[in-house]
Amino acid sequence: MSTASFKSKLAYSSGNLSVNLIAQAFASYIVFYYVDVLGVRPGLISVAMVIHGIVNAVLNPFFGHLSDRTSSRWGRRIPYMMFGMVPLAALFTAIWFPIGTGSALFWYFLTIVLLYDVLFVMVVLNYSALFPEMFTTIKDRAVVSSWRQMFGIVGMIIGVALPPLVYGNLGWGPMGAIFAGIALLFFIIMVSSSKEKMVVRREEIGFLQSLKFTFSNKAFVLFVIGSFFVQFTFAVLPAAIPFFTKYVLQAAEDSNTFLLGAIFIAAIPCVYVWGRLVQKWGPRRTVIYAVSIYAAAMIPFLFVANVTAAVAAAAVIGIGLAGLLVLLDVLLSEIIDEDEQRTNVRREGMYFGMNGFIVKWGVSLQAVVLGVILEATGYVKDAVQTEAAEWGIRSMLSVIPFLALIIALIFFYLYPIRSSNHPGAGTELKS
Q: How many domains does the chain have?
A: 2
pLDDT at 40: 79
Q: Where are the alpha helices (DSSP H) in 360-415?
A: 361-376, 387-397, 399-414
User: In the listed set 163, 193, 223, which residue is the last one of a domain according to the structure?
Assistant: 193
Answer whether residue 390 is part of any domain: yes
Do 156 and 294 lie in one domain? The reply is: no
d(CA 100, CA 107): 9
CA dihedral 170, 173, 178, 184 (to 10 degrees): 180
CATH code for the domain in which residue 304 is found: 1.20.1250.20
Helices within 216-254 (DSSP H only)? 218-243
Query: Pick from 162, 193, 224: which residue ends a domain?
Result: 193
Q: Please indicate, yes or no, whether residues 315 and 234 belong to a single structural domain of this protein.
A: yes
Cα–Cα distance between 149 and 272 in angstroms, integer? 9
Same domain, 154 and 254: no
Which of 327, 346, 362 has its CA nearest to residue 56?
362
| 271 and 325 Cβ atoms separated by less than 8 Å | yes
CB distance 72 to 362 below 8 Å? no
**Has residue 422 been placed in a domain?**
no
In this structure, the answer to whether residues 72 and 138 fall within a common structural domain is yes
Per the domain annotation, does 269 fall within a domain? Answer: yes
**CA gap 187, 348 in Å, rounded:** 20
- Is 167 in the same domain as 231? no
Amino acid identity at 98: P
By residue count, the chain amounts to: 431
Domain boundary among 193, 221, 248: 193
Give, in order, the Cα–Cα distances in Å from 256 to each of 62, 100, 263, 294, 322.
Answer: 37, 34, 11, 19, 19
Whether residues 260 and 338 share a domain: the answer is: yes
Q: What angle do CA 341, 196, 125 make, to 5 degrees?
A: 80
Domain assignment present for residue 200? The answer is no
Are 170 and 286 members of one domain?
no
What is the tens place of the pLDDT at every residue in 217-261? 999 999 999 999 998 898 888 778 878 888 888 887 677 778 888
What is the rounded distance in angstroms from the CA atom of residue 189 to the CA atom of residue 104? 37
Q: Kindly report, residue by residue over 356-396, the tens digit of the pLDDT.
A: 888 877 767 776 787 788 888 888 877 888 889 899 989 98
Question: Whole-angstrom Cα distance, residue 31 to residue 66?
Answer: 31
Looking at residue 111, its pLDDT comes to 92
Residue 198 lies in a domain: no
In a domain, 205, yes or no: no
- Indicate the DSSP class of residue 247: I
d(CA 263, CA 312): 9
In this structure, are 177 and 235 located in the same domain?
Answer: no
- Domain identity same for 63 and 160: yes
The DSSP code for 76 is S
Q: Which of 274, 261, 25 is nearest to 147 (CA)?
A: 274
CA end-to-end distance (rounded Å), the chain:
15
202 DSSP 8-state letter: P
Say yes or no: 172 and 271 in one domain: no
pLDDT at residue 58, as a whole number: 84
Stretches where the chain sits below pLDDT 70 are 1-3, 198-205, 253, 363, 367, 419-431
Q: What pLDDT shows up at residue 183? A: 95
In a domain, 202, yes or no: no
| Residue 229 burial (CB count, 10 A) | 23
Domain with 300 in it? 213-416
Q: Do both 148 and 177 map to the same domain?
A: yes
Q: Fill in the amino acid letter for 399.
A: V
Classify residue 187: in a domain, yes or no.
yes
Residues 395 and 295 in one domain: yes
